[in-house]
Structure 1
Amino acid sequence: METIFAAVDLAEVATWVGGTGVLIIGIAMAFKAIGLGKRGVKMA
């Protein structure tokens, strides 16, 4: 079990998880912006 943990570089995993999280949040915010834009156009 220790060899498995030694083989995995936690800094690389943390970077990948952080980058993926930023990507997912960015996509969610883009969809939210589209919805808010449509609502603004309907109210104008």
Structure 2
Amino acid sequence: MQEYRLASTAAHRHFFMQLASLQFRYKIFDISVASYVANSGYIEFNYP
């Protein structure tokens, strides 16, 4: 069970690193999409 948890954590860390890298690479696009969605009132974003 612990091995699975470690593998899952590693996978999540890799996923979030990929996500952060994508967000950094497409920052303008990401911000424009986020502001569009936020302005449409469809989803409320809570950034840390």
Q: TM-score, normalised by structure 2?
A: 0.54
Q: Distance in 1 between matches of 2:18 and 2:12?
A: 10
Runs of 4+ in 1 over 4 A off after TM superposition: none
Q: What is the aligned-residue RMSD (CA, Å)?
A: 0.8
Higher relative contact order (CA 8 A, sep 6+): 2
Say whether 1:32 aligns with 2:23.
Answer: yes
Q: CA deviation at 1:30?
A: 0.2
% same residue: 4
Unmatched runs of 5 consecutive residues or more in structure 2 = 29-48
How many residues are matched? 28
TM-score, with structure 1 as normaliser: 0.58
Runs of 5+ consecutive residues of structure 1 not aligned to the other structure? 1-9, 40-44
Larger Rg: 1
Using the TM superposition, give the Cα deviation of residue 18 of structure 1 relative to its aligned residue in structure 2, in angstroms.
Answer: 0.4
